[in-house]
Amino acid sequence: MQDTGNLSGANGTITAKEDRFQGHDYYNIDELLNDDHLLARDSVRTWVKQEVSPIIEDYSNRAECPTHLFKGLAEIGAFGPSLPAEYGCGGMDEIAYGIIMQELERGDSGIRSMASVQGSLVMYPIYKFGSEEQRRKYLPKLANGELIGCFGLTEPDHGSNPGGMITNIKEDGDHYILNGSKMWITNSPVADIAVVWAKDEEGVIRGVIVEKDMPGFSAPEIHGKWSLRASITGELVFEDVRVPKSNLLPNVKGLKGPLTCLSKARYGIAWGAIGAAMDCYDSALRYSLEREQFGKPIGQFQLTQKKLAEMITEITKAQLLAWRLGTLANEGKATPAQISMAKRNNVHMALEIAREARQIHGGMGITNEYPIMRHMMNLETVLTYEGTHDIHLLITGMDVTGLNAFK
């Protein structure tokens, strides 16, 4: 990116960056996409160039979430793109959803997170496991950005092992009394509602919709992150919160409830990571042609070409994996284990590409003149949330051997 002067942002004067990103499609994968996919891709790419790229380094530097973008994300249809139009959602297919996540994460993983959580972890469980009344009450307002949601599964002592959670609900007349806490919750300090997973008196995991003004509920912000700095993260604390029984998600019991939502979100991340990788590759390719050392562009050195050739090879493999997963998802045939493989592979691929791209940029690569370090730091979170790199490896291991390493 290059400076193009100053402009007035939501928080004063910031330095605007020109976004010269161009997409990369080495295997003509565009030919596998339909007009709706290409239209969604181009419109989100344009929005990211106009609304995200000019401000993202500044917000990330200040570790502040550009909350004004929630409205814009709603307007471009980033919240629940593949949920039905009758609830105010996009009504598109799973490939369109993936491509939207790719383009958002090309801008910043934190911006993609804002959309992933809202669409896949808040709207999707309400759609999939909620009553018709809950769908009508919440989905249109979540789709248009009037309400912001968050998803509470992880606890301070139960991250990879959410089945061990201690947050609980107890019946009290026409209410449940909710106690416990959740940790590392994207969007929680700014959320109007939280989809919270808690154990009932029989120890069965249930989902409840908690509203921000319910007494005993608070969502303090977590500070000090070196990663996903433009995304707001917090806790959820429940002290005898009275939740009406009508806020229970009636149509699911057990850990498969939250894990089904995670499959939807992990799918989006498998696509999203390609966006971050493409941005790093695009910047590195351009830099290698413009930067000269020893009287020639550094792109003419074989070692730079090796890095670039390996980057585009890995991006192309990840694109094919995501596209095939998308076709399976459209047919309702994508398995959780297939989604785990794609999430794990594509996020790791993006992180490796960010590291190689940083080297190609030399010293400039560590500055915020270029998006590389921001993507690299973000991807450390993406490698861990929604199931860590190693948890997804063990899911694949279990799938191919039939032997469960977790029990």
- Token pair in block for residue 339: 């989604």
* 186: contact with ligand FAD by CB under 6 A: yes
Choose the stretch contacting ligand TGC; rule: CB under 6 A; options: 36-44, 65-73, 110-118, 189-197. Answer: 110-118
CB of 197 to ligand FAD, least distance (A): 8
Asked if 122 contacts 193 with a C-beta cutoff of 8 angstroms, the reply is: yes
Q: Does 254 bind ligand TGC (CB under 6 A)?
A: yes
Q: Exposure string (b/e) for 64-101, b if CB count within 10 Å is 16 or more? A: ebbeebbebbbebbbbbbbbeeebbbbebbbbbbbbbb
User: Which of ligand FAD, ligand TGC, none has residue 393 at its interface (CB below 5 to 8 Å by kind)?
Assistant: none
3-state SS, residue 255: coil
For residue 261, which of 391, 119, 134 has the smallest C-alpha distance? 119
d(CA 102, CA 111): 11
The single residue among 56, 153, 315, 349 that binds ligand TGC, judged by CB under 6 A, is: 153
Name which position in 60, 82, 102, 116 contacts ligand TGC (CB under 6 A).
116
- From the list 94, 235, 356, 386, the catalytic residue is 386
Residue 187: count of CB within 10 angstroms of its CB? 26
Q: Are 131 and 161 in contact (CB under 8 A)?
A: no
379 binds ligand FAD (CB under 6 A): no
Q: Are 360 and 284 within 8 A, CB to CB? A: yes
Find out whether 56 and 16 touch, Cβ atoms under 8 Å: no
Q: Return the residues of window 382-401 that contact ligand FAD according to CB under 6 A.
A: 384-386, 388, 390-391, 394
Stretch of residues binding ligand FAD (CB under 6 A), selected from 54-62, 145-153, 273-281, 332-340: 145-153
When asked if residue 260 is in the footprint of ligand TGC (CB under 6 A), the reply is yes
Q: Please, which residue, 89 or 395, has the CB nearer to ligand TGC? A: 395
Cβ atoms of residues 368 and 220 within 8 Å: no
Q: What is the DSSP string of 285-297?
A: HHHHHH-EETTEE
Return the number of the residue (218 or 384) whose C-beta is nearest ligand FAD.
384
Q: Reply yes or no on whether 352 is catalytic.
A: no
Is residue 278 involved in binding ligand FAD (CB under 6 A)?
no
User: Among 102, 188, 263, 283, which residue sits at the site for ligand TGC (rule: CB under 6 A)?
Assistant: 263
How many amino acids of this chain bind ligand FAD (CB under 6 A)? 22
Q: Identify the H or E element spanning 272.
A: helix 256-290
Residue with Cβ nearer ligand FAD (323 or 385)? 385
Return the active site residues. 386
